[in-house]
Amino acid sequence: MSIAALMWVRGLNPRDWPERDAVDRSKAAHILHCYADYVNEETRRAYPSAATLSRQTGFARNTVTKHIEYLEESGLLRKVGRSGRGQGGANMYEVAYPRNEQPQPKSKARENQKANDDATKQIAARDDLSKPEWQRRGFQDERAFDDWNHEKWLKDEKQRTNQTTDVTQFAR
């Protein structure tokens, strides 16, 4: 199974595909999704038989075959051969999802890792529970924190008494 192929298929919009008589684009999308489930990550190829896809989708075998032809014509599948020998083989297709040909340079990867480490350290320093709360909140001294905390408590208490008063007025 190829996660990249599945994610690519999920990002497609069948309404953007070309129209063709007797082809339901939503059925084609479902068949392509089933195909993507069988894709080998390294070779980008899959070879489930039409019978297997028919069982998996619930569509008739000739419907599956017709929609696979449509997917080929649309450029979403490319026939690359057959698997197995004789009557027991299935057509092998390559799913046309884009490759990420540009691997990230190691120096860039290291730079990104360093930035992530720095951010993690900053969060850890901010949330360090071994420090007193006034230092974690960024106050210079404990007195300033106490003043701020007291003002906050007074404000909250005032709001609570106002709410209590409002409730008692409605009770009468």
Domain of 26, CATH number, reads 1.10.10.10
Same domain, 42 and 85: yes
Same domain, 125 and 83: no
**For the chain, what is the domain count?**
3
Same domain, 119 and 146: no
Same domain, 64 and 50: yes
- Coil, strand or helix at 47: coil
Same domain, 58 and 121: no
Same domain, 48 and 129: no
- Coil, strand or helix at 45: strand
pLDDT for 102 = 39
Same domain, 117 and 63: no
Low-confidence ranges of the chain (pLDDT < 50): 101-106
Same domain, 152 and 122: no
Same domain, 34 and 74: yes
State both tokens at 20.
Answer: 């063709």
Q: What is the rounded CA–CA span in Å between residue 170 and residue 154?
A: 25
Element (H, E) at 112: helix 106-126
pLDDT for 103 = 39
Give start and end residues of each alpha helix (H) in 11-105.
Answer: 25-38, 50-57, 61-73
pLDDT for 101 = 40
Q: What is the rounded CA–CA span in Å between residue 85 and residue 162?
A: 84
pLDDT for 28 = 87
Mean pLDDT, all residues of the chain:
77
Q: How many residues does the chain have?
A: 172
Give the side-chain half-sphere CA count within 13 A for 130: 2
Same domain, 72 and 154: no
pLDDT for 88 = 63
Same domain, 91 and 127: no
Under DSSP, the state recorded for 140 is S
pLDDT for 94 = 82
**Domain containing 157: what range?**
139-172
Same domain, 28 and 62: yes
pLDDT for 43 = 81
